[in-house]
Amino acid sequence: MKVFGFALFWILAFVYFEQSIGCGRRNKEDCFGSSAGYGFQFGTQDLACVKGKRKRSPSREELRIAHRYIKYRGVYYEFFDGGATYNTSPHRSNCRAGTESYASGYGVLSTECVKRCARHYGNVRPYNVFTRNCHHFANWLADILCRESSCPSYCQ
């Protein structure tokens, strides 16, 4: 039984490590390493707070509905029904933000390029709560940060 437990521990540790590597399951060749770029993190905020709706009493949600953003080189990139925004603090800085403490991936793009990419996303992909929301935007931007070595033409 000890051998089974020992083997299970190492299998679970390997799976956890694979899932926690920045840029997901992509090959290392597809993603820039920490020595070649700047780290970016995903983050979330309470959606009710971001929308300006305060709860009347403390409670814990059974299903977590949150607003997601990307933090890259000190700038928070967010997507709302009004389009993409970027600033040095989250949209609602009075809402508790939960930015991941580790880098999810690395990018080499300038902040000006990433800002243009965010504007591009907002211009060509109108907000839709189910198919084009802040979570889609964050994943799209993370993919650009992880894969691109120069500013994409559509972000010019």
Which structural domains are found in the chain, ordered by start? 38-52+63-156 (3.90.1720.30)
This prediction has a pTM of: 0.65
**Res. 148: pLDDT tops 80:** yes
Structure confidence at residue 85 as a pLDDT band (50, 70, 90): very high
HSE toward the beta carbon, residue 71, CA cutoff 13 A: 17
Q: Does the structure show a pLDDT above 90 at 86?
A: yes
Percent of the chain with pLDDT over 90: 24
Which string of b and e fits 54-88 if b means at least 16 CB within 10 Å? eeeeeeeeeeeebbbbbbbeebbbbbbeeebbbee
Residue 61: per-residue pLDDT: 33
User: H helices within 39-107, ranges in order?
Assistant: 47-50
